[in-house]
Structure 1
């Protein structure tokens, strides 16, 4: 397995996230690129997320008299320059030596929260030291004492929320990783776990994914609402449940003490028959009280996508893979490029859509096209 990142060329600011993706794909090793980009099964949900977002249409308002719309917002009580948080993603050192540290610094500079993964390649303490508003993403481990330890460390390090991932009773079968026998290089590990509990992810075997084996060994497959209630009693931090798609689960989550929900299909990496996140967003928003903040995750690739999520009731969105693309291209500066593009695009979309701010965005009329051109120029029915 090749783990060498190709040398970077002279930095030129990209114009779109597609430009960032193209640049990243050109020099990230194929097996690492597949780990970043791939989904589960036939990757139907990957395609569905994009197609569904493309079908959403917003009707602009005119003659509104707003010269400079504001992209500033408030997420879980923290002021933000953009209604966006960096999604939790594992092993960011795969694409940049500074990994999570560089991404967190970029988040701090652009006033957006950074969500640190349980499976980060730097520790919670190292990440929070970068100064960003940091939320900690928790995978529920089989060893409950380890869960308690992680929560206590997150609180002590100054994390401002807990984000419990609830859609991974087991890892989805990601065929790209299975075919490549993907495993972590020796220099990358889950820094928040003891070495004895993280080594499996570096044990490559033909015809299997070391990451999948490690997840099966480490994560508790029988996570339940009782555990959520236990966690709610254990910590005073705002509690966010990530991976909600069904309205009944959304209602139950609020009853169990959740302060916010992330409507997410895990970026297409878990259940390959799941709906696109954007398609169920409005139903989830309608099912819970206004006091429960709703975020959209999975497939957001532009400022216009952010505006669509806001118009459907989301408080904000999570940005995942594009951050890794930016890291791969230019480290911290590359992530700042990604966030800068989103800020510019959202500002343009607000202005052209006739919105003064994010509150105005929620008043836009939403319709959906019946058919949507796909990448090959045909139509989806």
Structure 2
């Protein structure tokens, strides 16, 4: 089947120089920048030059051996991210290394920004962390997604949906960022990908926001699409050549599962609605990537302070010792499953079956 031409026709988002300058200079509203107006003019001119010439990846190096096109100019940022993932995979596969758990607090709330109070998710993460700390030779990495809202220069930029054009166009790790010409920089995902790769078990603790995942969690979920069938060799598509990517997929794509066989636990809490649906959605997402559920106790959805005032939600958690114990059980279940798997004692029915259809 010949590859179809990529469809075009959406409005052109290119900015005029006047509008670009207005937006760029809008970052410097603090009066402390006023004496630096001449310097900012020069910096703005350099930024406009990068934007107008679409210098997405201004620093590159030759891909070298091991790539389909060794002479292709790879972004140095992407190569560094790939190297970090390769190192993380080595740690994951090291049979003599410690058991590694990635523990994710997915609330955007913390006392370090506008809400002025820590999240219940973080408190539940601390409970789980105490369980993991009691297991010999276990290393726990806590990923606190509220840092997106509270920390300077911390971003997870949105997925650009390359996969929807063709699987091979979605690179592992993501090559859409950083995009220096568009100011899409300081993307956190290149630090987050190795955390997922090295982990033997992942535990996600999240509240419900409007019946759905929190904004930080959803951003991370979308940007992990490249782990589920993404192309580890951008030189095959010469970067973002959409038509070539379509050809490659139609020639036969194997949809590599870069995070397969890791164990997971999911804890979802809410106060009025949506916990069961969100727990199921997150579990379905993880199993689609061929991660393995750690068992029924490891998947939990609960209401804390059901229909009670927001102002007393932490006090409701204080009183709910049962949900605290259930979170401990979820962590224990993940520990037990991960330790069993690393020892070759975990039996997962159907693990050697091949899916007849992939996407």
TM norm structure 2: 0.26
Greater relative contact order structure (CA < 8 Å, 6+ sep): 1
Query: Which has the higher Rg, Structure 1 or Structure 2?
Result: 2
